[in-house]
Amino acid sequence: MKTKLSVNINKIATLRNARGGNLPDLVQVAKDCEKFGAEGITVHPRPDERHIRFVDVYDLKKIVTTEFNIEGFPDEKFLQLIEAIHPEQTTLVPDAAHVLTSSEGWDIEKNFEFLKTIVQRLKLTQTRVSIFVNPEIKQAEWAKKVGADRIEIYTGDYAHQFSTADKSELIKPYTACALAAEQVGLGVNAGHDLNLENLNFFKEQVVPLHEVSIGHALISDALYFGLQNTIHQYLQCLK
């Protein structure tokens, strides 16, 4: 099946914010990512706006022509943003305000009532709701119960162990989680530290896989290969 590439442009905003002003131009980078073949744009606005600012989300909504994916912790400010923007996809992550990056998924059973209420509210905006989870069968099953449309499997542990672990054993929780999601009628996304080294193997083994969201590694590779060439290389990994 075809797996879409959504480019997370948080790091572009980080670079811009380091000096103030509008260089690099976040909106232009998003347009270029789409022109170069990206099939989605992802942003993760955080409460401190240390990279993506809330005003950026409104600016991007005007120009994204593929699929706009907004991820974040569903506090009231975030929910109001989604209700204003109506993105094609909203990805719920369990990050506390102080964390540097998303490093684990939801325990959906433990947060069932909270997430169920959030999902019901978001469905009124016609957004597709994805829940960020660890690669566990039970999380896929609970995601269905809570009313989600997709899960996004956290791939940080996979990426960190890829060069040293037995790959056939390493991938098993991810394949099992994706299969469990498919069996209950959910789509499957994945993200966190996927890169040119580990992406193709993941794509070949994990079925279904509807979308990957990649930011840090892709933007870092673009420093060497250029943005257009880098996006083409990531798309090649997904063929």
- The catalytic position among 34, 51, 67, 71 is 71
Question: How far from chain centre, in Å, is Cα 127?
Answer: 15
Selection from 225, 205, 217 nearest residue 238 by Cα? 205
User: Residue 188 in contact with residue 210, Cβ under 8 Å?
Assistant: yes
Structure tokens at 211: 């979308």
pTM: 0.95
Task: Tell me if residue 104 is catalytic.
Answer: no
Q: What share of the chain is helix, strand, coil (3-state, %, to 5)?
A: 45, 15, 40
Task: Tell me if residue 71 is catalytic.
Answer: yes
Burial grade of 62 (CB within 10 A; 0-12, 13-18, 19 or more): exposed
Per-residue pLDDT in tens (0 to 9) along the chain, 239 residues: 799 999 999 999 999 999 999 999 999 999 999 999 999 999 999 999 999 999 999 999 999 999 999 999 999 999 999 999 999 999 999 986 666 566 689 999 999 999 999 999 999 999 999 999 999 999 999 999 999 999 999 999 999 999 999 999 999 999 999 999 999 999 999 999 999 999 999 999 999 999 999 999 999 999 999 999 999 999 999 99
Burial 217-227 (b: 16+ CB within 10 A, else e): bbbebbeeeeb
Selection from 227, 233, 226 nearest residue 195 by Cα? 233
Structure tokens at 166: 């037995």
- The catalytic position among 34, 67, 192, 211 is 192
Report the DSSP beta bridge partners of residue 8. 42
User: 134: which DSSP letter?
Assistant: -
* In the chain, domain spans: 4-237
Per-residue confidence (pLDDT) for residue 102, from 0 to 100: 60
- The catalytic position among 44, 51, 136, 211 is 44
Per-residue confidence (pLDDT) for residue 104, from 0 to 100: 85
Which amino acid does the sequence have at 42?
A: T
Task: Tell me if residue 210 is catalytic.
Answer: no
DSSP string spanning 66-130? S-EEEEE---HHHHHHHHHH--SEEEE----TT-SS--S---TTTTHHHHHHHHHHHHTTT-EEE
* CA 193 – CA 58 distance, rounded (Å): 27
Per-residue confidence (pLDDT) for residue 222, from 0 to 100: 98
Which amino acid does the sequence have at 135?
A: P
Structure tokens at 82: 């989604």
Q: Which CATH number fits domain 4-237: 3.60.150.10, 3.30.160.160, 3.40.50.700, 3.20.20.70?
A: 3.20.20.70
User: CA–CA distance from 211 to each of 51, 117, 187 (Å)?
Assistant: 23, 25, 9
User: CA–CA distance from 22 to each of 10, 12, 13, 29, 54 (Å)?
Assistant: 14, 10, 9, 11, 15
